[in-house]
A and B are shown apart, each in its own frame.
Chain A
Amino acid sequence: MSESFKVIDVDVHNEQNDSALVPYLPEPWKSRVAASGIGMAGSGYYSPVGVLRRDAVPPGGGKAGSDPDFLLKQLVERYDMEYVILTGVIYNISATHDPDFAAAVCSAYNDYLIAEWLPKSKKFKGAIAVATQDPVLAAREIDRLGGHPDMVEVIISSAARMPLGQRFYHPIYEAAERNGLPVAIHPGAEGAGSSTPPTAAGYPSRYIEWHTCLSQMFMAHLVSLICEGVFVKYPNLKVVLVEGGVAWLPGLMWRLDKNYKALRSTVPWLTRLPSEYIRDHCYLSTQPIEEPDNPQHLIDLFNMIDAENFLLYSSDYPHWDFDPPTHILRKMKPEARRKILYENAKALYNL
């Protein structure tokens, strides 16, 4: 039962209308957004469920997740959460085309978050959103806000123009390490705008395919981060793979380790098995948790890779595939469940 576990939720989506960011934007972007909105690029996949939980619309109206007081009541208080990390959704801006506009929108959002959300509750912690189209601008934003005591990570989109370990992106990781902040990678805009197709095979027909294959994006980014030597170059960097699934990880570790034994000379900067770098530097969030017919099978998979040491509980509130902390991993032994629901996040984010 939840009473016996403290909870930190590492993926809570606060929402706002585009107009909320206008006061925080400089020109020429202020006039543009005031007149035309942000113009986010969407993946275009239709879901009859929608993205937002229908019961999460605030009593006074507006988008689900847009009212801090209602979010506190419906999520934080109900599940007695100690902290929640507000991840927003603005990271999706990385799938749009103009690097300067994307960077400006992220800066405006970050200032809005700091001014209008974080003061509402000590339980709120923020993620610094940065756009990946220009990693130098992203690094500048990380340095601008990295010292803020309640901004506890950097967040970027998994929808990108190329695998995220490549050297083009290294200024982001360098800045994150310099500021002592983990980098979270979050899906949502896969296939939209300037990003790559959402699956390795191209564009599937339906949302069910798109959503299932988001794990592919995370597999590709993770392999890239390891093989490009990001964790050799930035040995204190931590990366959080948010909402990309978990059950695929054991197989990927085995496959990559096997290939390393043959192909080590192509990545000579890796002096340990790839899976060891994953264990030391990467965290995965739990939602949407895989649900095999026999729940024990998922626990068995986790045990194969000691996943209890690098999983972080997330709810994804107020999105449609929300996982409450009370109804996942119930077959897990209590000490492992405690790590996932609370202790791992507490240590990673210095909470």
Chain B
Amino acid sequence: MPLHYVLDADDIPEGGRVIVGVEGREIGIYRIGGRYYAIHNYCPHMGAPLCAGVVCGTNLPSGVYRYEYGRKGEIVRCPWHGWEFDIKTGKSLFDDKVRTRSYKVEVRDGKLALVIGGRPDHAEISEVTKR
């Protein structure tokens, strides 16, 4: 699986986000609870830079007039129309089938690598741009 080394793990503080460019596409890498998640910086709705959106929590499905706020720091709201996406999966909160692409992030020797397509076990180092 092609690994694209993009950052040092310490480059992203807890709760933070860094957008990198890999093979012509922009990807947002988020650090949530010590783990790393990556999603395409592209909203499937109208192509907005999704990762420029606010990271937040949300009201989870609940009974009428009950509010169960949760998932703090795990949701990104698109800056254009406010759609909510689960940073961990790329799925929108209103429909599982509406999603932005998500990528696996591997931590190796203190460095972060994005797993993007290709054949398994074929690590390579690509040139990346930090935004």
Query: Using a CB–CB distance below 8 Å, which chain A residues touch chain B?
Result: 167, 228-229, 232-233, 260-266, 268-269, 271, 273
3 nearest CB pairs, A to B: A229-B64, A262-B82, A268-B59
Q: Which residues of A contact B58 (CB under 8 A)?
A: 265, 268
Contacts of B62 in A (CB 8 A): 268-269
Whether B94 and A268, one on each chain, are in contact in the complex, defined by CB atoms closer than 8 angstroms, is: no
- Separation in Å of the B43 CB from the closest CB of chain A? 11
| 29 A-B pairs in the complex with CB atoms less than 8 angstroms apart | A167-B65, A229-B64, A232-B63, A232-B64, A233-B64, A261-B45, A261-B81, A261-B92, A261-B95, A262-B82, A262-B83, A263-B82, A264-B84, A264-B93, A264-B94, A265-B58, A265-B59, A265-B84, A268-B58, A268-B59, A268-B60, A268-B61, A268-B62, A268-B67, A268-B68, A269-B61, A269-B62, A269-B63, A271-B61
Q: Which residue of B lies closest to A230 (CB)?
A: B64
The residue that A262 contacts in the complex, of B60, B61, B81, with Cβ under 8 A, is: B81
List the A residue with the shortest CB-CB distance to B57: A265
| A residues near B83, Cβ cutoff 8 Å | 261-262
Of residues 70 through 118 on chain B, the ones whose CB sits less than 8 Å from some CB of chain A are 81-84, 92-95
Distance of A271 Cα from B60 Cα, bound (Å): 10
With A and B bound together, what is the CA distance between A268 and B63 in angstroms? 8
Q: Is B66 engaged at the interface, CB distance under 8 Å to the other chain?
A: yes
Instruction: Provide the bound-state CA to CA distance between A349 and B63, in Å.
Output: 29
In the complex, A151→B45 CA distance in Å? 48
> Considering only CB atoms, which chain A residue lies closest to B58 in the complex?
A265
Nearest CB of B to A222, in Å: 17
In the bound complex, how far is the Cα of B62 from the Cα of A266, in angstroms?
Answer: 11
Minimal Cβ-Cβ distance residue in A for B63: A269
Main secondary structure of the interface of A (DSSP, over half): helix
Q: Which residues from A are CB-within-8-Å of B93?
A: 264-265
Find the residue from A167, A263, A265 having the highest chain B CB count within 10 A. A265
Q: How far is the CB of B72 from chain A (nearest CB, A)?
A: 13
Bound CA span A273–B94, Å: 8
Q: Within 8 Å CB of A273, what residues of B? A: 94
A260 touches B59 (CB 8 A): no
User: What 16 new A-B contacts, CB under 8 Å, besides A265-B58, A265-B93?
Assistant: A167-B65, A228-B64, A229-B65, A232-B64, A260-B94, A261-B81, A261-B83, A261-B92, A264-B84, A264-B93, A264-B94, A265-B84, A268-B61, A268-B68, A269-B61, A269-B66
| Complex-state Cα separation, A263 to B82, whole angstroms | 7
B contact residues around A232 at 8 Å (CB): 63-64
CB neighbours of B81 from chain A (8 A): 261-262
Interface centre among A228, A229, A269, A271 (most CB of B within 10 A): A269
**Residues of the B chain whose Cβ atoms lie less than 8 Å from the Cβ of A264:** 84, 93-94
Report the nearest A residue to B98, measured CB to CB: A261
> What is the CA–CA distance of A66 and B82 in the complex, to the nearest angstrom?
55
Q: Specify which chain A residues have a CB less than 8 angstroms from the CB of B67 in the assembled complex.
A: 268
Q: Closest residue of chain B to A167, judged by CB?
A: B65
In the bound assembly, the distance between CA atoms of A6 and B83 in angstroms comes to 47
In the complex, how many angstroms separate the beta carbon of B51 from the nearest chain A beta carbon?
17
CA distance A265 to B60 in the complex (A): 7
CB-based nearest A residue for B75: A265
Shortest CB-to-CB span from A98 to chain B, Å, is: 30
